[in-house]
Amino acid sequence: MFKLLNVVIFSLLLSGCSVVDMLIYKVSKQQGNITEQKHVDKLEIGMTKEQVKFLIGTPMSVHSFDHDRWDYIYTFQAANLEPTRNNLTVYFENNKLTKIEGEALVKKGKLTKESS
């Protein structure tokens, strides 16, 4: 009986870490640029970098080797859940917007799920 009690207590102690971890409050984390569809819809091929920056803000990152690629990255991780990520990439040539990839994070006032 004593051995069984020890095994049960030992098992509870080992599994306790994972149970306690789920009970601890964790703060949700937001990082990056929140891009809104209404602003992305105003982007037009041929706009300058300054115009794009005025509409959707400063990019989260500018590619190290290609300064004509801007990445707008947004990551959200709710407590105890997997993070979701949204990417919007804009490309320039001769200081003019040439291509837009990804999707806006906010569509019609609601946050979208992960980008495709």
Domain residue ranges in the chain:
27-111
**Secondary structure of residue 93 in the 3-state scheme:** strand
33-70-52-38 Cα dihedral, nearest 10 degrees: -40
| 3-class state of residue 58 by DSSP | coil
pTM for the model: 0.64
| Alpha-carbon dihedral sign for residues 85, 90, 91, 95 | negative
pLDDT in the model for residue 22: 65
Which CATH number is 27-111 given? 3.30.1450
Retrieve residue 13's tokens.
Answer: 């102690």
The pLDDT, as a whole number, for residue 49 is: 94
Q: In one letter, which amino acid is 69?
A: R
Question: pLDDT for 30-89, tens place per residue?
Answer: 888 888 888 888 999 999 999 999 999 998 878 788 889 999 988 888 877 788 888 889
